[in-house]
């Protein structure tokens, strides 16, 4: 199941994976998150935690995720930043590699650094936003 993590800085969508993630979990949480962001006209700042309660995902969840990217080919440009919070070594390594390929800041934090991940995500986006302002603004 995917649960929303409460008490995050403004504009950050924080999700915690618990147990085994199914296609239904992915569709209900992620698709609604995307729709809400589009309706509000904002880009996404996503924090995903894969803590000790995380057990994995079904093949259906992988298929649903692939379907999301096919239905929304411009999704890359709708993400403003991404923080993964996990102590799972192979997942962290994959995210490090993916970070080389995506057009948004992406970083991995250990499970003991949830607050640090949220702060980084909030500040990195604030820096990017202020860097886009004309000098003297």
pLDDT digits (tens, 9 = 90+) for 49-75: 999 999 988 888 878 877 777 777 777
Residue-wise pLDDT for 96-116, tens only, equals 888 888 888 999 999 999 999
What is the chain's mean pLDDT, rounded? 84
pLDDT at 23: 87
If 0-12 CB within 10 Å is exposed, 13-18 middle and 19+ buried, where does residue 78 land? middle
Q: In CATH, what class is 2-117+124-131?
A: alpha beta
Q: Would you list the domain boundaries of the chain?
A: 2-117+124-131
Paired residues of 20 in beta bridges: 56
Asked if 47 contacts 12 with a C-beta cutoff of 8 angstroms, the reply is: yes
Asked if 137 contacts 114 with a C-beta cutoff of 8 angstroms, the reply is: no
- The Cα 15–Cα 133 span in angstroms is 30
Region 16-42 average pLDDT: 87
pLDDT at 125: 55
Torsion over CA: 90, 5, 56, 27 (sign): negative
Give pTM, 2 decimals. 0.83
């Amino acid at each position: 199941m995917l649960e929303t993590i409460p008490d995050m800085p403004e504009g950050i969508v924080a999700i915690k994976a618990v147990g085994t993630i199914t296609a239904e979990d992915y569709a209900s949480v992620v698709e609604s998150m995307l729709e809400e962001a589009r309706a509000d006209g904002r880009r996404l700042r996503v924090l995903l935690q894969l803590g000790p309660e995380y057990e994995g995902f079904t093949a259906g969840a992988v298929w649903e995720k692939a379907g999301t990217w096919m239905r929304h080919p411009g999704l890359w440009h709708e993400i403003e930043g991404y923080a993964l919070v996990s102590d799972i070594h192979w997942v962290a390594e994959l995210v490090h590699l993916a970070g080389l390929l995506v057009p948004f800041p992406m970083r991995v934090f250990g499970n003991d650094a949830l607050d640090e991940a949220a702060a980084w995500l909030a500040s990195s986006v604030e820096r990017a936003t202020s860097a886009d302002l004309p000098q003297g603004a």
